[in-house]
Amino acid sequence: MPITTEFEYMRPKDMDAALHAFSLYGEKAKALAGGTDLLVHLKENLSLPEMVVDIKALDELGGMALKGDALRIGALVTFSDLIDSLLIKRKFPLLWEAALTVASVGVRNRATLAGNICSAVPSADSVPALALYDAVVLTLSLKGGRRVLISEWFTGPRKTALRPEEIVTALELKLPEKKHAGCYMKLSRYEGEDLAQGGIAALAFSDNTYRVAACALGPKPARCPKTEAALNGNKLSEKLILKAKGIILEEVSPIADIRSSREYRLHMTQIMLGRALEIAVARLSGKGPKYGTENSC
């Protein structure tokens, strides 16, 4: 299918030229990295830019590095890069597991983590993990840089705090101080391209504290603080899981759509929470399924 909307294309080699373009065109400029969302939007006339700025020649947007407890993931890092990274697999296993559930290999080879949060669909698989690792989004414009907490990044479905003259340069994740293990459960109908009908991520720590976040179960992916509070300080038990299952229903507000009813999503929210917590705790003591397996409902 041809793209009918007309736009200019540029591939700047230095950041200054890119930022000038975003300053000049504002909302009429679109950043192109993997293009797996942008091309679909262009084909369907959902996006009508005057200038497409290919940011792939901007070397400073690439790479991953852990300095102290801060992991910087450049805006050009793809999901395949995350999956191929031993650093991510060892230190941020929940993000690694979530990356494996994103679309398919051919999409992951191009799609970037930064693009996932810029597209900002409620079902973004990476976001519960980002929320649990206290991610910060780093943006840049001619006016300077900003650091936006992931909890303040999403302003609604497909809406973010990114300003028209800005680009995302990187994400910064915080390595938890204590030993941790995690699990991302994704409710989907088949492998490959399916969007999450719901997703729950959990982190478990050795001191009986927990972190829980959800995606596709509300207008934006988010942490579940009430559920976390109910869990914290307690050893995981059937009774505790039952209590948490009751509380998480207060923190999600799924829609009904062609893929599943609201009632089904609410029911599966509880199932996913229980499984994610059990698997995370089992992994904490070296048991449970390997990361990247048995995480779809």
Partner 1 sequence: MKPHNIQFELNGGKVALIVEPGDVLLDMLRGKLGIKSPKVGCDRGDCGACTILMNDKTVRSCLVLAVEADGAEIVTLEGANSRKWTRKLQKKFHEKNAFQCGFCAPGVILSATELLEKNSKPTVYEIKKAIAGNLCRCTGYEPIVEAIAETAKEKC
Opening angle at CA 54, ends 52 and 57, nearest 5: 160
As measured in angstroms, the least distance from the Cβ of 55 to partner 1 is: 12
Hey, what amino acid is at 41? H
Are 222 and 214 in contact, with CB atoms under 8 Å apart? yes
CA–centroid distance for 205 within its chain: 21
CB of 75 to partner 1, least distance (A): 16
What distance in Å separates the CA atoms of residue 180 and residue 284, rounded to the nearest whole number? 6
Decide: is 289 part of the binding site for partner 1 (CB under 8 A): no
- 267 touches partner 1 by CB under 8 A: no
Q: Which of 15, 39, 247, 282 touches partner 1 by CB under 8 A?
A: 39
Q: Tell me the residue type at 68.
A: G
Binding mask 65-104 for partner 1 (x = CB under 8 A): ---------------x-------------------x--xx
Which position among 54, 134, 172, 278 is part of the footprint of partner 1 (CB under 8 A)?
A: 54
Beta carbon nearer to partner 1, 100 or 201: 100
Residue whose C-alpha is closest to residue 20's, from 140, 146, 168, 134: 140
By the 8 A CB rule, do 95 and 130 touch?
yes
**Taking CB under 8 A as the rule, does residue 8 contact partner 1?**
yes
Residue 186's Cβ-count burial label (10 Å; 0-12, 13-18, 19+) is buried
Interface with partner 1, residue 173, by CB under 8 A: no
- Residue 7 touching partner 1 (CB under 8 A): yes
Question: Which residues of the shown chain bind partner 1 in the complex (CB under 8 A)?
Answer: 1-9, 11, 32, 35-36, 39-40, 42-43, 52, 54, 56, 80, 100, 103-107, 109-110, 190-193, 293
